[in-house]
Structure 1
Amino acid sequence: MAKDKKQPRPKAETPKGFRDYFGQDVTERRDMLDRIAQVYHRHGFDPLETSAVETVEALGKFLPDVDRPNAGVFAWQEEAVPGGGTAGDWLALRYDLTAPLARVAAQYRNDLPSPYRRFAMGPVWRNEKPGPGRFRQFYQCDADTVGSASVAADAEICGMLADALEAVGIDRGDYLVRINNRKVLNGVLEAAQVREDQAEDVLRQIDKFDKVGREGVLALLTTGRLDDSGARIDGVGLSEAQAGPVLAFLEAKGADNAATLDNLSTAVGGSAIGAEGVDELRQIAAMLAAMGVAEDRAVIDPAVVRGLGYYTGPVFEAELTFEILDEKGRKRQFGSVAGGGRYDGLVERFTGQKVPATGVSIGVDRLLAALRAKGLAGAEVAGPVVVTVMDRDRMSDYQSMAADLRAAGIRAEVYLGNPKNFGNQLKYADKRGAPVAIIQGGDEAERGVVQVKDLILGAKIAAEASVEEWKSQPAQTEVARADLVAEVRRIIG
């Protein structure tokens, strides 16, 4: 009788597009998000945690319009799960933090205050092709105000964003919150007599202003241009006269907010919606000034064209202005780390009633990378004090030492591996990044003392000191057991 074929062992590997986060990464991200949360809390925003799973129906327009609604998300059909819901229902891992907010605002509309201010932080999942720096699971950090049509809510978000960046360590002068308004652009399109079927193409060309400049955008709006490879890119087909207001909009940035707003007023011509957008920007600028947010922190800037196809009013982004070296050693500006704006229809899909909302999302991984580039994160995190084990029968004594250290607020652990080889215990402490090792053998126990080994100083001495200095063991001190906590505290500062 043939034996059953042995099943192959599973591969110990992270699924494609996902990654594992270890101690220091988790600690740095948590510390950064805690500082942001404190700022949001001071501004009156409440934390919200929603389920990682939403119905595909609730995700709505955030999903591609396909027959099988799992393109772009990780989804499954309820009838395929034992004890699941109604046949035909689909569930999915949340795609972002905005769709769950829409569902919550509708579901609890009679219980929540209006306006409702909330912030949310957590992982989201996208079933998309991964690439360099592009993962299928990543963190988002959002803050939104739902239920207020006042541009005071937009100004508050912008000021709060500036405060959050400073709270995590970004200095003034190293960031700028830039603000624009979709209504202004609508007015520009109206003044330029852009047809409805041309509007999306015009928006795409406007977005290329930073890359191709004035003449490049003019060509793209009119007859087209050749790209760097020599390939022909068709233009939108506007006349040069029509392109005029669009270019005036893109070049409206003045020496200060007042000059920029005057230039935008000219760009929108006689458009009523455009004038409304300029007035909203004027109000935001005045409120930011009243909040103490000067123009070196937040500024009106027509060059912000991100998300103009989605946002309905003010739109803003936070840009880091300091330079870093790229992988080829070239200097470049770090760029955007957050973006947001005003959007309508958030809750309307559920209730049929328009509910205005505005919000911002911080790119968690990107902001953390910026902090590391500035030397504000990424430093080695000290591990726990390691209490070594010289005698298995005295494990209670060692646990008591660790407990005393913890009670004093010092991170500590007892070595729980095989204590036979003491060298391996010190190797373990080194791998843990321990600043101190505690040693007590039978002789020390009888005398009521412990050996406290400064591992950081010891490593420095081993690398730099003379043989005589090394033999003198200045990195290891004998103290009374009662003085253990005080000596460890002295060493670690």
Structure 2
Amino acid sequence: MSDKPKKPQKLKARLPRGLEDRGPAAIAATREMVEKIRVVYERYGFEPVETPAFEYTDALGKFLPDQDRPNEGVFSFQDDDEQWISLRYDLTAPLARYVGERYGTDGLVLPYRSYRSGYVFRNEKPGPGRFRQFMQFDADTVGSASPAADAEMCMMAADTLEALGIARGDYAIKVNNRKVLDGVMEAIGLGGDENIGRRLTVLRAIDKLDRLGERGVRELLGAGRKDESGDFTKGAGLDETQIRKIETFVNARSLVAPPTLAYSGDKDVAQRLAGDTDRKENEYDIARRIVDMLRETFADSKLAVDGLNELVEIARLVDAAGYHSQIMVDPSVVRGLEYYTGPVFEAQLLAAIPNEKGQPVVFGSVGGGGRYDGLVSRFRGEPVPATGFSIGVSRLQAALTLLGKLDTRPAFGPVVVTVFDRDRVADYQKMVSTLRGHGIRAELYLGNPKNMGNQLKYADRRNAPCVIIQGSDEKARGEVQIKDLIEGAKAAAAIASNQEWRESRPAQFSAKEDELVAAVREVLARHDVSWG
């Protein structure tokens, strides 16, 4: 007896961890965000550029280098000629390659000011709010070493958050300097090339302050930390004296100024801060006090002193431009990427935001950037100064959605032309084409036309504003029936019985076939229906 053929197994539909599917409402909200960011960036004189999602791995630069896999933390593979290729982990490294190819040619005007948006990819452990694919929107200036270029990035970040609906007083653009951080590393004995790995571990530990708190950072500076899942992250291995020096530096702002809350001069913010004169103090003055305190500690480090002077200059420039307290010097800010060489910035939301369950959530960082004078230089063999800022679109969108700053309601679907007589599909298709030709979003029902009720249910589930019906009687009279689904839904709520429904036929009316476009436009205008 022969064996029965095995039943083929169904492939299980599953989404990889750390990724998400997105529907029309989320996509429309992203489109709205990106457009508002673009307007601000272009107002500052930046122009668009696109780079591919893949780059040669060595062009991306160091990102947790690993012997077996050239870049731990990124998704990499070898192509057919055994060259390593990686998905971009940010938008800055590809820009450096783009500029490196064109630097010194007529195709690149210096200083080069550009913006770009797109998805980036991180081969990291996913978790709540942490994805392996997410969108960023960057702007960069290449070819200027002036602190004015860094100050401009901070001002543009502030303008962008306000354009997206974040009120002054609810965010802060915090500024630090990698040169000062390097001076701290020297002070605790972590200078030199032999300590590159430990320095990076220390910087990344500090960078997690807003997420893990002081205790979590202290654990990462020491032996290590075990997270909620039980996974252990090895720490930097610093001793108690070294950890205390790091904490003194990181807490420098709190030693000279009260807990920060951006102050703009708006009446509502002024009322919240009434009686607290320190918080109303000009940020430039606070920055000078922070720098004066740290300058005493690091007077022997020229690198640190240079970095402190740059911080004072940035504070002076943004203050002169009217950004008195939206932008603030804060030594606790550390950007995790290794390529930063000077000022670093971070956009933070200050207020706790209620999530879907009403629980307060502090989003913290929603963007950041800094100066990376060595990234383009790798392709040129000569100094090429550069600075930039990146908005974390995906993360900021989650915050704006909870704040009600984005319209996440389902968008209106198309006008649906139903099929009453399957022998007349060509006539119905002509109606669809006519509507589309006049800029009206429309579609022909493509399912089984046997049951008109199913067609109307389909249109309702598609959130169609109205449907078009034409049977043989209407065709003979040169008319169409237009059913206003929005008005019909309102009327249905007030109708008590099926009989009353059948007798009233709410929100359904006749129109001449040659007046179809005008009749549909009337329905759309009545309910303020538009498609972006």
CA shift, 1:421, in A, is 0.9
Equivalent position amino acid for 1:107 in 2: E
Query: Does residue 288 of the first structure (1) align with residue 318 of the second (2)?
Result: yes
Question: Which residue pairs with 1:168 in the alignment?
Answer: 164
Give runs of aligned pairs for residues 313-352 of structure 1, distance below 5 A: 313-326=342-355, 329-352=358-381
Question: Which residue pairs with 1:82 in the alignment?
Answer: none
Alpha-carbon separation, structure 2, partners of 1:238 and 1:485:
75
Query: Does residue 252 of the first structure (1) align with residue 284 of the second (2)?
Result: no
- Provide the identity percentage: 52
Equivalent position amino acid for 1:483 in 2: E
Question: Which residue pairs with 1:19 in the alignment?
Answer: 20
Greater mean deviation of Cα atoms: 39-48 or 179-188: 179-188
Question: Which residue pairs with 2:442 in the alignment?
Answer: 412
Alpha-carbon separation, structure 1, partners of 2:121 and 2:113:
24
Give runs of aligned pairs for residues 445-456 of structure 1, distance below 5 A: 445-456=475-486
Change (3 A) 1:445 1:90: same
Gaps spanning 5+ residues in structure 1: where?
Answer: 80-85
Greater mean deviation of Cα atoms: 232-241 or 130-139: 232-241
Query: Does residue 268 of the first structure (1) align with residue 295 of the second (2)?
Result: yes
Question: Which residue pairs with 1:141 in the alignment?
Answer: 137
CA shift, 1:44, in A, is 1.8
Equivalent position amino acid for 1:91 in 2: I
TM-score, structure 2 normalization: 0.79
Alpha-carbon separation, structure 2, partners of 1:240 and 1:370:
34
Give runs of aligned pairs for residues 146-161 of structure 1, distance below 5 A: 146-161=142-157
Alpha-carbon separation, structure 2, partners of 1:193 and 1:405:
72
Greater mean deviation of Cα atoms: 91-100 or 367-376: 91-100
Greater mean deviation of Cα atoms: 5-14 or 17-26: 5-14
Alpha-carbon separation, structure 2, partners of 1:374 and 1:479:
43
Give runs of aligned pairs for residues 332-481 of structure 1, distance below 5 A: 332-375=361-404, 376-467=406-497, 470=501, 471-481=503-513
Query: Does residue 49 of the first structure (1) align with residue 79 of the second (2)?
Result: no
The answer to whether the 8 A contact 1:74-1:92 is kept is yes
CA shift, 1:12, in A, is 3.1
The answer to whether the 8 A contact 1:222-1:240 is kept is no
Change (3 A) 1:305 1:381: same
Alpha-carbon separation, structure 2, partners of 1:388 and 1:334:
47
Alpha-carbon separation, structure 2, partners of 1:66 and 1:228:
26
Question: Which residue pairs with 2:241 in the alignment?
Answer: 237
Greater mean deviation of Cα atoms: 392-401 or 440-449: 392-401
Change (3 A) 1:396 1:291: farther
Change (3 A) 1:448 1:283: farther
Alpha-carbon separation, structure 1, partners of 2:398 and 2:293:
40
Equivalent position amino acid for 2:96 in 1: A
Query: Does residue 118 of the first structure (1) align with residue 119 of the second (2)?
Result: no
Equivalent position amino acid for 1:67 in 2: D
Alpha-carbon separation, structure 2, partners of 1:27 and 1:219:
41
Question: Which residue pairs with 2:77 in the alignment?
Answer: 76
The answer to whether the 8 A contact 1:252-1:302 is kept is no
Change (3 A) 1:208 1:119: closer
Greater mean deviation of Cα atoms: 238-247 or 17-26: 238-247
Instruction: Count matched residues.
Output: 482
Gaps spanning 5+ residues in structure 2: where?
Answer: 229-234, 259-278
Equivalent position amino acid for 1:262 in 2: R
Q: Write out per-residue CA displacement over residues 421-455 of structure 1, whole angstroms, 9 at most, x where no aligned residue.
A: 11111111122111211112221222222222121
Alpha-carbon separation, structure 1, partners of 2:129 and 2:383:
37
The answer to whether the 8 A contact 2:250-2:331 is kept is no
Question: Which residue pairs with 2:177 in the alignment?
Answer: 181
